[in-house]
Amino acid sequence: MILSVSPNLGIDVTIQLDRLQPGEVHRVKTTKRQAGGKGVNVARALTRLDERVCVLGFAGGDELSRRFAEEGIDARLVAVESEPRTCTIYLTPDGAATVVNEAGAPVEREDKLWEQYRALVPRADAVALMGSLPPGVSSELYEKMARLARSQGVFCVVDTSGEPLVRALRARPSVVAPNSSEAEALLGQTLESNDARRDAVAALRERGAELAIVTLGREGLVVAGPEGFSGSLHRRSPVDMRFGNPIGAGDALVAGLLAARLRGFATVEMLRFAMACAVASLAEGYGRFRPRDLRPEEIVFDATD
């Protein structure tokens, strides 16, 4: 079983428009509501890879539990009094996504989530610590969780930002996978050049990650690992994002990493498989894809000299 921890769960409201122009009146083409959060997207992708997964997070009201049940996703929800936050995504036909995320209501008892996590980790084959933390939750929560996973020999991926990422790195997680803007904010440098990108993953390793990945959107990713392993991955042909949806592509990548790790893939093949999951998810978004659309053979690995 893979445990996908997503403390700041919410409801994703996706609105499709012909175009988005500030200050103008828009006509909505379609609107969709569904359970949201990076850990939820991970769970969707893992389900499509036939992996057992359980989502753990805070939730108020009954909408989230109902929507998890509709999708057949196993979820252990720690009840809070407030309703879940709303994350609004505006999609246009060129594949651009404009995202407006609520912070979420304050959580007063993070110890209840910790107790659930502590009970589930011994039964987990791998753990994913995903996304932001709700107000009121200490920034050291992921550090504690990663440290416990490490102490029990459980493979642990962290995908978060800001102070929670700074602290999680101290626990020496198996993998960290921020996107380029998150890495720039953490390291205080731009990642426009290849040298800067290689320096960034090296810096993440120096701070504690065993395998450090920085995702670069359409450009692929850069990676650094033990024993001098480093390089970049990209797709052989450019990704056409027209009518696509980039939301959750990084989460599908994390799911691919977890599944490939449990299947015993070598590092390069694990990364190829993970990136193939991310690319396949672009057609629909939110971690959804058809396994038959996975094309790891189209992913090129360029080792750093």
| Cα 136 from Cα 158, distance rounded (Å) | 20
| Dihedral angle sign, alpha carbons of residues 21, 132, 219, 47 | negative
Q: Are 11 and 84 in contact (CB under 8 A)?
A: yes
| Cα 123 from Cα 116, distance rounded (Å) | 12
In a 10 Å sphere around its CB, with 0-12 CB exposed, 13-18 middle and 19+ buried, how is residue 226 labelled? exposed
Integer-rounded Cα radius of gyration of the chain:
18
| Cα 95 from Cα 15, distance rounded (Å) | 13
- The residues assigned a catalytic role are 251
| Cα 67 from Cα 108, distance rounded (Å) | 24
* Residues in Cβ contact with 304 at an 8 Å cutoff, skipping those fewer than 6 apart: 198, 230, 231, 232
| Cα 31 from Cα 16, distance rounded (Å) | 7
Phi and psi torsions of 103, nearest 5°: -70, -30
